[in-house]
């Protein structure tokens, strides 16, 4: 064993040792011959090297311009790693024609063919430009001739007139063998550094200073009596540069885990907030340092936000009749939310700032998130309802690390009445008060009052979504099974089901019910309240199952939940770094009625029992009763808190494994 370990270490050392030339284009045969990653054998790809160099150059008439140079080399081990042969480069546009520019883009794909390195160059047909919105242009590069075992490599430069520095990402979904980072900013720009505190990998970032000098040339316009004369002056100046560096090796991949939510919340990354601009004497010329209160107020004061909440003349007459029957503020919220859903279609764009403005969105029948939800707030306020905007960072946007306007990308509505509140989102067709789309359920949002004050409010649902299923089971002479399923679901469970299944054909619905449920045939589907969101979703269908019963000798064996049982525990890891996030609390109940076939009697049944996790935070109930010719099972899973800390993972994993095991326990019927 010791000799084997020594040999493996030697191989790993040889592989990494021969791959130390990180100069662009110097890919080695040893790198191409690698069949799997030396540390993470499950990796479909790995970053062999990444260099990111960010600095500022002084340019005449423009001042300091930001430069970002990127060099990346990626090894692709199998087909699952092909996605890493595509890179997206985001370029930002500002007001007044300011724009970031891409230059120096080149790339190659390397393959080992008959012992020789073959090089394929990235060409223009592999580069695609598109506008994500009015502020962002995306340049997508797709590398040529990508095969299993190949290496891709690319370099590019971005020149930016903006002082904001993009987040620095230290961790990918694949391992990184070596990463070199350097950020050099002039002493006149003060950045606050913040590394993601939720990450489990923490890079070693070093700080230092350097002396630099720059030359300048200024144009001076002299207007003389008969003509205009341009004169030039030049000079130089010295300044200090603040430098951040990181030289990391063997950065582990950020692996997704079941029910972990947005993994980006746990990614190792660093944000740099521009907090101040200093003059040449070191005094603060402009301060950007802020807190969430100031950030919220600055957003509210914008013409594309708070100003939109005071406009009501264009809809006042339209909603007067609607409001005549409303008896309380929450009912007004539901009625107006439903009205806006029918009147203004969401265009799929996020944003806390209006794109068209509430008036134009209302007239044209389409708008972004802010157009729609600020319109809802404006309507409610026109009816005397205490309604306020809530700024949100969606789940795919992550959690902001410091107070900044960029920390939010969404806005919803909150109604407060009689010491309680409800949250509304009129962009989602199937949403209800306090039943928000999952994209919004990202821990907490920032509610802004009309007096400019703000506070955090929880976005996590407290009410339980409920599912209730009645399953009738009849065992036939050929040991096939048939029966009927009736299912009712509410709240977030109902919203998810409606989004997936409302509007599809019965045939497609049948295929979805049959998928991954064994040799089953579903017929006579009845789907009710697909669009009536005030009522639970109701679903019923008949089924015929051919593989639900095992006959061994004179005995019949089967699990009472049949095709509805949870087949395996989703929590596979022995250790877990991240919390479990079910998003919302829920309760799922099953009432199963099994007819004992003629000529058989009960030999054995699973035992009844109640199992709890952490004093009832989660609970599993399993009750069985023999009643004449019928077996009756009442089975229920309650997840009363949707967030399980990683410290409790092992205990919860055991709890969930017990649930899966209990659902697989067999009823045994003996032939009389």
pLDDT confidence of 15, banded at 50, 70, 90?
A: very low
With 80 as the cut, is the pLDDT of residue 26 above it? yes
For residue 542, give both structure tokens.
């008949």
Burial of 378 (0-12, 13-18, 19+ CB in 10 A): buried
With 60 as the cut, is the pLDDT of residue 614 above it? yes
CA 72 to each of CA 36, 69, 84, 86, 297: distance values in angstroms, whole numbers, following the listed order: 19, 10, 11, 12, 41
With 70 as the cut, is the pLDDT of residue 25 above it? yes
CA 30 to chain centre: 37
Coil/strand/helix, residue 96? helix
The mean-pLDDT minimum among 420-429, 483-492, 576-585, 647-656 falls in 576-585
pLDDT confidence of 503, banded at 50, 70, 90?
A: very high
DSSP structural state of residue 296: H
Coil/strand/helix, residue 437? coil
With 90 as the cut, is the pLDDT of residue 352 above it? yes
Average pLDDT, the chain: 92
CB 388 within 8 A of CB 452: no
- Could you give phi then psi for residue 386, rounded to 5 degrees? -80, 85
Per-residue model confidence as pLDDT tens digits over 306-333: 999 999 999 999 999 999 888 899 999 9
Q: End-to-end distance of the chain based on CA atoms, in angstroms?
A: 58
| Per-residue pLDDT, 2 | 42
For residue 353, give both structure tokens.
């700032």
| Per-residue pLDDT, 228 | 57
pLDDT confidence of 288, banded at 50, 70, 90?
A: confident
pTM listed for this prediction: 0.83
Within 8 A by CB and 6+ apart from 1, the residues are: none
The mean-pLDDT minimum among 3-7, 272-276, 647-651 falls in 3-7
**Higher pLDDT pick, 105 / 17:** 105
Report the C-alpha dihedral over residues 294, 296, 300, 304, rounded to 10 degrees: 110
Give the pLDDT mean for 591-611.
Answer: 96
CA-closest candidate to residue 76, choices 153, 138, 18, 20: 153
The mean-pLDDT minimum among 168-172, 253-257, 313-317, 352-356 falls in 253-257
| Per-residue pLDDT, 198 | 87
Per-residue model confidence as pLDDT tens digits over 356-395: 999 999 999 999 999 999 999 999 999 999 999 999 999 8
| Per-residue pLDDT, 451 | 85
**Position of tokens 């480069």?**
89
CA 207 to chain centre: 32
Q: How far apart are CA 594 and CA 307, in angstroms?
A: 63
Give the pLDDT mean for 51-68.
Answer: 92
Give the pLDDT mean for 352-359.
Answer: 94
Angle, CA 204 vertex, CA 201 and CA 209 arms, to 5° = 150
With 70 as the cut, is the pLDDT of residue 346 above it? yes
pLDDT confidence of 18, banded at 50, 70, 90?
A: very low
The mean-pLDDT minimum among 193-197, 246-250, 341-345, 600-604 falls in 193-197
Coil/strand/helix, residue 658? helix
pLDDT confidence of 220, banded at 50, 70, 90?
A: low
Within 8 A by CB and 6+ apart from 77, the residues are: 34, 35, 36, 37, 43, 44, 45, 46, 148, 149
- Consecutive H or E run containing 581: strand 580-581
CB 103 within 8 A of CB 159: yes
CA 472 to each of CA 482, 557, 584: distance values in angstroms, whole numbers, following the listed order: 8, 17, 29
DSSP structural state of residue 83: G
CB 639 within 8 A of CB 586: yes
With 90 as the cut, is the pLDDT of residue 70 above it? yes
pLDDT confidence of 499, banded at 50, 70, 90?
A: very high
| Per-residue pLDDT, 43 | 96
CA 215 to each of CA 240, 416, 528: distance values in angstroms, whole numbers, following the listed order: 14, 59, 74
């Amino acid at each position: 064993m010791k000799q084997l370990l020594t040999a493996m270490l030697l191989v790993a050392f040889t592989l990494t040792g021969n791959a130390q030339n990180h100069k662009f284009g110097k890919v080695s045969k040893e790198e191409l011959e690698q069949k799997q990653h030396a540390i993470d054998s499950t990796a479909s790809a790995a970053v062999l090297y990444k260099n990111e160099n960010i600095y500022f150059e002084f340019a005449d008439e423009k001042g300091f311009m930001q430069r970002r140079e990127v060099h990346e080399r990626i090894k692709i081990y199998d087909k699952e790693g092909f996605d890493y042969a595509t890179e997206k480069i985001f370029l930002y546009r500002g007001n007044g024609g300011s724009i970031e520019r891409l230059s120096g883009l080149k790339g190659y794909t390397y393959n080992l063919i008959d012992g020789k390195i073959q090089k394929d160059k990235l060409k223009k047909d592999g580069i695609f430009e598109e506008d994500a919105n009015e502020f962002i242009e995306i340049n997508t590069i797709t590398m040529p001739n990508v095969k299993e075992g190949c290496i891709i490599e690319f370099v590019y430069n971005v020149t930016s007139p903006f002082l904001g520095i993009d987040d620095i990402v230290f961790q990918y979904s694949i391992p990184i063998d070596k990463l070199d980072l350097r950020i050099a900013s002039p002493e006149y720009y003060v950045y606050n550094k913040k590394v993601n505190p939720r990450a489990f990998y923490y890079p070693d970032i070093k700080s230092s200073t350097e002396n630099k000098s720059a030359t300048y040339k200024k144009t001076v316009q002299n207007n003389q009596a008969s003509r205009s004369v341009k004169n030039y002056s030049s000079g130089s100046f010295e300044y200090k540069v603040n430098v951040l560096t990181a030289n990391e090796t063997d950065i582990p991949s950020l692996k997704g885990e079941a029910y972990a939510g947005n993994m980006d919340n746990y990614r190792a990354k660093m944000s740099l907030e521009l907090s101040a601009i200093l003059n040449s004497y070191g005094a603060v010329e402009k301060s950007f340092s802020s807190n969430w209160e100031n950030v919220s107020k600055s957003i509210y004061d914008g013409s594309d936000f708070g100003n939109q909440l005071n406009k009501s003349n264009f809809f006042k007459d339209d909603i007067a009749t609607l409001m005549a029957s409303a008896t309380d503020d929450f009912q007004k919220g539901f009625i107006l939310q439903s009205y806006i859903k029918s009147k203004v279609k969401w265009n799929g764009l996020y944003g806390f700032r209006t794109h068209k403005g509430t008036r134009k969105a209302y007239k044209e029948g389409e708008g972004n998130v802010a157009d729609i939800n600020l319109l809802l707030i404006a309507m409610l306020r026109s009816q005397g309802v205490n309604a306020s905007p809530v700024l949100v960072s969606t789940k795919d946007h992550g959690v902001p690390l410091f107070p900044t306007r960029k920390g939010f990308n969404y806005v919803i509505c909150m109604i407060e009445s009689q010491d309680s509140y409800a949250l509304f989102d009129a962009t989602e067709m199937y949403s209800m008060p306090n039943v928000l789309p999952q994209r919004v359920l990202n821990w907490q949002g920032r509610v802004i009052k009309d007096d400019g004050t703000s506070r955090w409010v929880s976005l996590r649902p407290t009410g339980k979504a409920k599912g209730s299923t009645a399953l009738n089971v009849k065992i036939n002479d050929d040991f096939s099974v048939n029966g009927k399923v009736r299912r009712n679901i509410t709240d977030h469970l109902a919203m998810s089901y409606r989004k997936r299944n409302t509007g599809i054909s019965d045939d497609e619905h049948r295929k979805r019910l049959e998928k991954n449920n064994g040799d089953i045939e579903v017929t006579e589907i009845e789907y009710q309240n697909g669009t009536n969101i005030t009522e639970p979703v109701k679903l019923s269908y008949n089924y015929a199952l051919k593989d639900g019963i095992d006959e061994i000798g004179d005995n019949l064996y089967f699990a009472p939940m049949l095709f509805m049982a949870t087949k395996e525990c989703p929590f596979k890891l022995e250790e877990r770094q991240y919390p479990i996030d079910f998003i919302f609390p829920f309760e799922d109940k099953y009432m199963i009625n099994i007819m004992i076939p003629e000529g058989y009697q009960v030999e054995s049944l699973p035992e009844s029992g109640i199992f709890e996790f952490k004093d009832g935070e989660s609970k599993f109930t399993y009750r069985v009763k023999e009643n004449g010719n019928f077996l009756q099972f009442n089975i229920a899973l309650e997840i009363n808190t949707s967030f399980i800390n990683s410290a409790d993972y092992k205990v919860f994993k055991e709890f969930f494994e017990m649930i899966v095991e209990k659902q697989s326990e067999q009823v045994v019927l003996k032939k009389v």
